[in-house]
Structure 1
Amino acid sequence: MKRMKCLLIFIIGIYMCTLLTAPAIASAHEPLIFTTKNTPSMNMTPFYWMVGIVGGSIAITLSYVGWRKYRAEKNRQSEDDSNN
C-alpha cells in the first residue's frame, strides 16, 4: 500500500513538472529577448498564483504534520499516565 502511494505521488509530481515546463519547451524555437526595464505590459499574475499555490501547499503540509505530532504526543502522554 505504501509503495502504491509513493508511486502515485511520483506520477503526480512528474505530471505537474510536465505542465509547468510545457510552455517553455513549446516556445523554445522563438528567440528570447531580455530587457532590463520594467514595462507596464508585464503581467505578474501567473507568478503570484504560483507563489500562492506553493506557499499554501507548504503551509498546509506543515500544519498537518504539526497537528499529527501534537496528537501523537497527547496519546503517548495519556498512555504513560494510565501505565503509572
Structure 2
Amino acid sequence: MVFTERAGQKDSWGASDVPLGEITEAYKIDVWQAGVRIKSVTVSDVSWIYPSAAMATDLASGSFDIYVAQLSDRYGAGPERIITATS
C-alpha cells in the first residue's frame, strides 16, 4: 500500500505529492474488521506492506478497513483516509 503525504490541516488526500511541513514523517495505520481493531502500526514512509502470512493470521475472510493518518509533531493524528479491502 502506498499513499500520498499531506502538507497539513488544509490539504486534502489528493493525488499530488506536497512538501511535508513536519520535522519527522510518520503515519498511523490501523486495520479494522467487523468493528474490531486488528492491528495498529506506525511507519516513517509513505508505504506499508501487510504480508499475506500476517493477514492470514490476523484476519477472518471478508472485507476489512485500513485507516491511514499522518502524524504531526504539533497536532497528533490528522484526518484519516479509509481504504476497504478484502482478505
**Same topology, TM > 0.5:** no
Structure with the larger RCO, 1 or 2 (CA within 8 Å, 6+ apart): 2
Which TM-score band applies after superposition, normalised by the shorter structure? under 0.3
TM-score, length of structure 1 as denominator length: 0.17
Q: Which has the larger radius of gyration?
A: 1
Q: Using structure 2 for the length normalisation, give the TM-score.
A: 0.17
Which structure features the higher share of helix residues?
A: 1
